[in-house]
Amino acid sequence: MPPAPGTGDGSLVDDPAVRAPLVLNNRSFHDITEIVCGYAENKPPRWWLPAFLFASSLAGFGGLMILYLVITGIGTWGLNNQVDWAWDITNFVFWIGIGHAGTLISAILCLFKQKWRTAVNRAAEAMTIFAVICAATFPGIHIGRQWMAWFLAPLPNANGIWPNFKSPLLWDVFAISTYGTVSFLFWYMGMIPDFATLRDRADRRLRQLGDSAARIAPFVPIRTDKARAVIYGLLAVGWRFSSRHWHRYEAAYLVLAGISTPLVLSVHSIVSMDFATSILPGWHTTIFPPYFVAGAIFGGFAMVLLLLIPCRVLYAHMKDLITLRHLENMAKILLVTGMMVGFAYSMEFFIAWFGGNAFEVDVFLNRAFGPYWWAYWTMISCNVISPQVFWIKAMRRSPLVIFIVSFFITIGMWFERFVIIVSSLHRAFLPGEWHMFHPTFVDIMIFVGSCGIFLTLFLLFLRFLPVFPIAEIKAVLPQASPHADDHKKGAH
């Protein structure tokens, strides 16, 4: 007889009254602590170092390309008089959108008391921070005179020059700084109890082993656990697991969740106004704020799945914490947001036709059937068509299918930003002003370098920081409920 779903075998049942467990294999509280702390304490898997070296090499080469850009000038990009925004702003909007899934999972799902968020929120929050770092790179380097970037901030200066608050570039500065600061505080505060757990475990091992404790390296006279105890102790800021600490922690976490929730809507709305406040056909539309927010959540969830599905295969016991129930729930969100994005695509054509503006109509027809038709239909295929497989139950319960669809969505979301920016700019009102954009090697490698920065930071996160919130994972275990036995017996 197959085991009941409540025993933790990971099976998903169709009865809505019976929910599959969020942690598999009947793990105890002690098991959760050992598994989560083990990712930061034990030696990394064999694949980690080659992957880290590869990602850091990409990041380093991208850094060299940025240095070459600063020394040589913006002419190293494929920009021209007509297409003066291209891959730089495309990459900026792409990365800032990737970061929205972390805030959505952590803040909005927290406010709605969705327990399944506990296994994926920490990694999603980390991806938010890393994506914001990558996004912040591009406004800083696309301004031409990068050494004057501090003029973007409202800082007093001897010239008496104040930033132009009507400039979308300044709006981006406030959006990125606010979103990055709040997201970092949210992410860091959630890790404080786990830092304290790692600190106490390192201190306990140090007292037990004494001089026999392992060193960081043979030539470094510092014990590994001593370094861990000091570093994690500083990060834990005196956390002692007292009731008062937990009470204040939960109150502060709820406040930050409330602050972060409007940021999900406001940040990408502000980014969309970089385009919507212009009078350029194809950009001057009121649908951009909700369209960009839905697309950001869509692309962000795809990136979360794109990274966590390989992790749950490559790391021991991670399948017990990130279950098929988590993957299916996120696949459903991809399906819903994918339909929202598809609706926005169709409404753009409808608004252009209904408005009766010939220039608007020409822009959208040019997107679909002009020189960049391949980019437009790649976007439609990846963002609208591929998520439709999740209507089939077996597809949204297959990690391989979810991974493939998430990969296509990530590609499609980059092409969405490319289509919005480049295809709207490359044809002006006069045929003599029409120009095609062709990316240069520097364009490509700076984007690849930003991907390397993102992967490098994510691999460091997997290696040295608590990947899961220990207390929240324990809270969703069956034994955490004081009435767990009553539910098993059918009592009310």
Do the domain assignments include residue 96?
yes
Determine the Cα–Cα distance for residues 350 and 278; give it in Å rounded to an integer.
20
Q: Indicate whether 491 belongs to any domain.
A: no
* 129 lies in some domain: yes
* pLDDT for 211: 66
Q: Read off the pLDDT of residues 373-432 as tens digits, 9 standing for 90 and up.
A: 999 999 999 999 999 999 999 999 999 999 999 999 999 999 999 999 998 888 877 777
The two structure tokens encoding residue 429 = 């009102």
- Residue 213 binned pLDDT confidence (cut-offs 50, 70, 90): low
Alpha carbon 123 to chain centroid, angstroms: 8
Residue 391 is predicted with a pLDDT of 94
Q: Please give the single-letter amino acid code of residue 101.
A: A
Residue 186 near residue 178, CB atoms below 8 Å: no
Flag the least confident range among 216-220, 355-359, 475-479: 216-220
Question: Dihedral of CA 232/233/238/244: which sign?
Answer: positive
| Residue 13: per-residue pLDDT | 60
Q: Which of 47-61, 129-143, 165-179 has the highest mean pLDDT?
A: 47-61
Q: What is the pLDDT of residue 484?
A: 57
Q: Which of 349, 351, 345, 378 is nearest to 364 (CA)?
A: 349
Please tell me the predicted confidence (pLDDT) of residue 240. 92
Question: pLDDT category, 480, cuts 50, 70, 90?
Answer: confident
Average pLDDT, whole number, for the chain?
86
Question: What is the CB-side half-sphere exposure of residue 117 using CA atoms within 13 A?
Answer: 21
pLDDT exceeding 70 applies to what percent of the chain? 92
CA angle (330 as vertex; 327, 332 as ends), nearest 5: 110
β-strand partners of 215: 223
User: What's the pTM value of the predicted model, to 2 decimals?
Assistant: 0.90
* CA-wise closest residue to 27 among 2, 10, 13, 3: 10
Question: Which candidate, 425, 348, 355, places its Cα nearest to that of 379?
Answer: 348
pLDDT value at 131 more than 60: yes
pLDDT given at position 5? 44
Residue 4 lies in a domain: no
d(CA 420, CA 70): 27
Would you tell me how many other CB atoms lie within 10 Å of the CB of residue 181?
A: 11
Q: Please report the pLDDT score of residue 490 as a whole number.
A: 44
Higher pLDDT, 38 or 220: 38
Q: Which domain holds residue 244?
A: 31-481
Tokens of 27: 């793990």
Residue 209 has pLDDT above 50, yes or no: yes
Number of domains in the chain: 1
Q: Does 218 reside within a domain?
A: yes
Stretch 333-349: mean pLDDT: 92
CATH number assigned to the domain comprising residue 195: 1.20.1630.10
Q: In this predicted model, what pLDDT tens digit does every residue of 28-87 receive, in sequence order?
A: 899 999 999 999 988 899 999 999 999 999 999 999 999 999 999 888 888 888 888 888
Separation CA 96–CA 266 (nearest Å)? 12
Contacts of 144 (CB under 8 A, 6+ apart): 73, 74
Residue 11 scores a pLDDT above 70: no
Which single residue is written with the structure tokens 């370098």?
449
CA distances from 259 to 181, 239, 265, 401 (A): 11, 24, 11, 35
Which tokens go with 340? 């929202």
Confidence of residue 6 (pLDDT cuts 50, 70, 90): very low
Question: What pLDDT does residue 105 have?
Answer: 79
